[in-house]
Amino acid sequence: MAKFIVRRILLLLLTMVLVSMAVFLITESSPGNVARNVLGAFVTPEQEASFLAQVGLDKPVYVRYWYWLFGSDWSAAGKVGMPLKRITTKDGFQEWWAVRDDGALVRWKLDGEDLYAVVRLESVGVETRYKNNEKWETDAEGKSEFWGVDDANHVVRWEKGTDKEVWTFIIGTGWKKSTGGAMEYIPLKKGFIRGDPGKSFRTGRPVSDSIWTRLRNSLFLAGTAFIIVMPLALVLGILAGLKEGSLRDRALSIGGMMFSVTPEFATGIFLILIFAVWLGWLPGATVIGEKAPWERLDMVILPVLTLTLIELGYILRITRASMVEVMKSPYIRTAYLKGLPYWRIVFKHALRNALMAPITVIMLHVNWLMGGIVIVEVVFGYPGLGKYLLDSAMFKDINALEAGAMILVSVAVLTQLFADIIYTFLNPRIRYG
């Protein structure tokens, strides 16, 4: 059993790595221009080049993938010559600083040809500034350069005497032109594996500040639907399968098929039309904030109901088919002939074998459920991961899109592993074979 689980985990980890590469390459090669999405259609080539350099999109694709997955702080620390540390200020902002030998935090600013060090004592939050021109290093070509941390959370390379002009775009503020810009930028991040996939190009906020909240909201929606669907579909499927061809069986089968073949967006629109427009019982859209969907549970009812109806029909029919097959098995007929009570045959002999297929399908169907969430969240305006992913894809917000996609892959991989473990316990041939 232990070897089986270890093999599965290693295989699933390999799957995640390959999928992460595929997601990254597909996103990178998709049509559209990130700079023009953020800056507008009338951005100049100089402004576009400055923006791409500042967000790290001017680097080769394999470098960007490595930084996105594992982080850029380790390699950037080697260029600075000091360990790098991310802190959270009293205002809630995240800042990157270099750590001096005495434990003080330091980063740098360029003013003309003068390099200034800004020192911060983390314990008291006091900052001091002094001229730091002795830090300039001269290369073989006679150019003076310095690698340091700037106030925009980059590790940058300044060259003395270049007085480079840069264009900085601040969301909500617009363009800001300044001199003393860096020749090279490394946006600092810890990487997806350490929970920091970088900043969102669309909002300017760290992706980790939004995506985990959105994931929680989606899991709340999907989990509620799953808790309702699983026992209800299993019970109805078993009841339908106990008497094949009966009126009960036909009614449940037709109803399940009707719900399962109807697309999510159509089901959602029908429910809005019935319960929000005609009857006026429930709100037809979600207008709650992204942090607390349970504060207005009435706004969650229709999205949950939409997911429940879609998943209910499919799992019901799988359970019904499995139950019908088991009830026709020779050992069930033998139990009848021996005079065992009907309900004892059902609960002790038939039910266990009949549930193997549905339980496995249910766990694998979690992936389908997460896919349906994207559509449902868009229809109802629900602030979840699905809507976040769609908005990111439309905007080509690479960091947010890649992080969201990998989270969904992680959920799919974990449910696959869980399904395999459950199946080994239900099927002795796998456990002891």
Domains observed in the chain: 47-70+72-188 (no CATH), 208-432 (1.10.3720.10)
Q: pTM for the complete prediction?
A: 0.77
Q: Tell me the pLDDT tens digit for each residue of 348-404.
A: 777 767 776 677 677 666 767 777 788 888 888 888 888 888 888 887 788 888 888
Mean of pLDDT values over 306-311: 85
Q: Tell me the pLDDT tens digit for each residue of 351-362.
A: 767 776 677 677
Task: Return the structure tokens found at 238.
Answer: 């078993």
pLDDT exceeds cutoff 70 at 8: yes
Between CA 345 and CA 340 the distance in angstroms is 7
Task: Return the structure tokens found at 402.
Answer: 């890649």
Measured N-to-C along each axis, helices 301-327 and 264-271 cross at an angle, to the nearest 10 degrees, of 120
Quote the pLDDT of residue 73. Answer: 94
Range list of β-strands (E), 203-312: none
C-alpha dist (Å) from residue 257 to 251, 264, 266 = 10, 14, 15
Round the average pLDDT of the chain to a whole number and report it: 82
Task: Return the structure tokens found at 73.
Answer: 């702080």
